[in-house]
């Protein structure tokens, strides 16, 4: 009887070791037909990373981990006949919070930033990527950087096909001259 328990425990241990690779295989596929929208809901802890800006240091935002960041990974694999761009969005409630949105291609040797919005005011940020910006079959992620927040809930989404909802109220010459992304936070 004890041998069976030992074998069962060994089998459970082997299954537990196999679990991370099985979990990795469950990264959702965004195809624009069966799956058109992926949603992320998370709650941050109280954080303040203003020192990163002053010191011009800190982690690359596309490589940061919890509790500083939260990620929504997905495989981009357009279904036959589906065309259009991708819309990324995050929103929160408290205007005193400053959260930043990043889109990255995930890789074994590190992540590569594709786009970002680091607006310093408001309660939402948006990024739109034109068709052809991402490569089919590759893994990407929406990343939320909890730059400064007393701690609160954030909701994020990736929509394909998506519509461009990034404002164009501020002329690009003003936005570029200010050195700050403005329109993506309006």
> Residue 51 is part of a domain; what is its CATH number?
2.60.120.380
In a domain, 18, yes or no: no
Number of neighbouring beta carbons within 10 Å of residue 167: 12
103 prior amide bond cis, ω within 30: no
Do the beta carbons of residue 53 and residue 123 sit within 8 Å? no
Give me the pLDDT at residue 16, please.
40
In a domain, 15, yes or no: no
In a domain, 74, yes or no: yes
In a domain, 10, yes or no: no
Number of neighbouring beta carbons within 10 Å of residue 4: 8
pTM above 0.75, yes or no: yes
In a domain, 3, yes or no: no
- Phi and psi (nearest 5°) for 97? -80, 150
What is the residue range of 95's domain? 27-185
Bridge partner list, 42: 154
In a domain, 19, yes or no: no
Q: Per-10-residue mean pLDDT for the chain, 186 residues long?
A: 38 39 70 97 92 64 89 97 95 94 92 89 92 95 94 96 82 53 71
Question: Structurally, how many domains does the chain consist of?
Answer: 1
Do the beta carbons of residue 47 and residue 68 sit within 8 Å? yes
Give me the pLDDT at residue 45, please.
94
Find the angle CA(182)-CA(158)-CA(172) to the nearest 5 degrees.
20
- Using only C-alpha atoms, the chain has a radius of gyration, in whole angstroms, of 20
In a domain, 11, yes or no: no
Half-sphere exposure of 20 (CA within 13 A, CB side): 2
In a domain, 17, yes or no: no
Question: How many residues in total does the chain contain?
Answer: 186
Do the beta carbons of residue 102 and residue 119 sit within 8 Å? no
Do the beta carbons of residue 103 and residue 133 sit within 8 Å? no
Do the beta carbons of residue 48 and residue 99 sit within 8 Å? no
Residue 177 tokens, joined: 């001259």
């Amino acid at each position: 009887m004890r041998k069976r328990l030992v074998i069962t425990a060994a089998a459970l241990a082997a299954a537990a070791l196999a679990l991370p690779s099985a979990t990795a295989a469950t990264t959702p596929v965004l195809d624009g037909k069966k799956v058109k929208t992926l949603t992320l809901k998370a709650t941050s802890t109280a954080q303040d990373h203003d020192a990163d800006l002053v010191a011009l240091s800190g982690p690359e935002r596309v490589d940061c981990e919890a509790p500083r960041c939260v990620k929504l990974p997905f495989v981009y694999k357009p279904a036959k006949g589906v065309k259009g761009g991708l819309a990324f969005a995050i929103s929160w409630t408290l205007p005193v919070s400053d959260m930043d949105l990043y889109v990255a291609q995930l890789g074994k040797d590190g992540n590569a930033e594709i786009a970002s919005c680091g607006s310093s005011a408001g309660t939402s940020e948006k990024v739109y990527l034109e068709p052809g910006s991402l490569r089919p079959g590759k893994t990407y992620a929406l990343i939320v950087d909890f730059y400064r927040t007393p701690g609160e809930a954030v909701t994020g989404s990736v929509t394909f096909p998506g519509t461009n909802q990034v404002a164009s109220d501020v002329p690009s010459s003003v936005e570029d001259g200010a050195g700050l992304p403005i329109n993506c936070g309006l």
